[in-house]
Structure 1
């Protein structure tokens, strides 16, 4: 009888961003990957063929409670003020899924990432929720390495 392998749970993970010291997140949405089909018809073929187009990578969305750490906001300010062509603008990010025993179970490495949108969150005088900041990050390439 084959040994049962349960899927990993989605609530234990960490995010490593090059040169960012404090970066604990409540949620991280791993970017999707896709390739648009290109329809091609040759000569007198009665049907079209489908070829693969250029691969595309979506955006990474990171959410966390606002703290005294300004590192993510300062990264956004570098992009906002100078663009992505300056040193330290684009960074590599790793998202690591952790199993129940605390071991690294899966890893996605994101290359050439830079913040494309920052949102500080919504304030509510009648609420008692944590103020959540959201950082949307454009990604050039993603690879699952584990």
Structure 2
């Protein structure tokens, strides 16, 4: 029934989450997108196969980049500081942990991204006649993703 404690009947809501960014700790984000992984397909046919078609096998797995959006706060340059550490392949890699939580604040699903580093930062757009919150965006590349249920 609506309003009852979360159970296995209803899907999880996606608005209650937290992001922990390496040694920077927990950072409040407005939006997280790009949690995906993909496996390339290899087509193969042996020369002595009696079937005149290829078989498909899994190949190299690859991950996309995640995009994180958050509000701009005064004297908060964490993203720019982390991005500026990229110099001639001397990147400060971090572990990024994204947790989807239930109504009690307990983790229900956890995505752990290893060896993550920023590849793009976008500052907010500025409009003299607007009244929106200033939002900055960081795009992060990572090597592996592990998903666990809480």
* Map of 2:64 onto structure 1: 58
Query: Which whole-Å CA distance do the structure 1 matches of 2:116 and 2:8 have between them?
Result: 37
Offset of residue 25 of structure 1: 0.3
Where does the alignment leave 5 or more consecutive residues of structure 2 unmatched?
Answer: 1-6
1:72 paired with 2:89, answer no
Paired residues of 1:107 and 1:144 also in contact (CA < 8 A): yes
Query: Which whole-Å CA distance do the structure 1 matches of 2:41 and 2:28 have between them?
Result: 38
* Map of 1:24 onto structure 2: 28
Where does the alignment leave 5 or more consecutive residues of structure 1 unmatched?
Answer: none
Paired residues of 1:60 and 1:136 also in contact (CA < 8 A): yes
When normalised by structure 2's length, the TM-score is 0.87
Deviations 1:57-80 (A, max 9, x none): 11111000111211122101112x
When normalised by structure 1's length, the TM-score is 0.89
* Map of 1:40 onto structure 2: 44
Paired residues of 1:110 and 1:139 also in contact (CA < 8 A): yes
Offset of residue 19 of structure 1: 1.4
SS of corresponding position for 2:24: coil
Q: How many residues align?
A: 140
* Larger displacement relative to structure 2 (20-29 or 112-121): 20-29
Deviations 1:80-128 (A, max 9, x none): xx14435xx1000100111122221111110000000000021111111
